[in-house]
Amino acid sequence: MHFEVPKAKTLKEFGGEYLMIVISIATALALEHGVQTLHHSHLAHEAGVKIDAEIQANVQELDEALNHNNDQLKKIQVTREQLLAGIKDKVDNQLLIKQLLTQQHNKLGLSMMSPSLRREAWEVAVASQAVSWMPQQQLERYSAIYANMRDIQSISSSGANNFLDGAGMLNMISDINMGQGDPKTIYRVLSQMISAYESTDGNLQGLRDNLAKSAKETPHS
């Protein structure tokens, strides 16, 4: 910033010119601060719009996963009920297995869909520091949502919520494909598969509801 040294000859003139310089500097600084504040506010607003769009996209992806998993769960539940009825009626083992394969269209297994859950918009906002210019309440809401997403992904990848014996399921499928297998063992594995679906989908549904609620809380003008 450039300014000229006062050239006044009297103290009064000097004081007046000095005051004008101080006012000019203060005004320039205030304008600069205002421009920066407006710029930061604009960046925070843009980041918020992108983050909310990303959250909404994740809600849609969760809906797709939940619908797929729910359809698969219903098929397994029906198969287990029919198998249990056959076991209680002492139906021949081979006939029971044949009925099971017919019910499952010869494709018995676990078909669980897990959403990828995008977080690029949030990570860009953090890297650019746009989140630091957001209102505190909005920032806390976003932080909680993405922490929730991270926790659910961690649980899913670690299998901590899975009660399924994967090796046992594969052995059961191999036995069935070879025309062998024990209906009681199959029933137990089907029960494990149902628990795996219900546990996973319970977490996904909770996350989906949190994200959907968050997407409604901050309107953008």
Q: Where are the domains of the chain?
A: 11-217
Q: How many residues does the chain have?
A: 221
Residue 107 contacts residue 116 (beta carbons within 8 Å):
no
Give the sign of the dihedral formed by CA 159, CA 160, CA 161, CA 163.
positive
DSSP-H helix ranges across the chain: 11-88, 93-103, 120-127, 136-158, 166-177, 183-217
pLDDT for 93: 85
Cα distances (Å, whole numbers) of residue 207 to 62, 139, 167, 168, 202: 8, 18, 29, 30, 9
User: So what's the pLDDT on residue 108?
Assistant: 75
pLDDT band with cut points at 50, 70 and 90 for residue 148: very high
Query: Is this structure's pTM higher than 0.85?
Result: no
pLDDT higher than threshold 80 for residue 150: yes
The model's pLDDT over 203-216, given as tens digits with 9 standing for 90+, comes to: 999 999 999 988 77
CB atoms < 10 A from the CB of 88, how many? 8
pLDDT tens digit sequence for 22-52: 666 666 565 555 556 555 577 888 999 999 9
Cα separation, 29 vs 19, whole angstroms: 15
Residue 10: what pLDDT?
Answer: 64
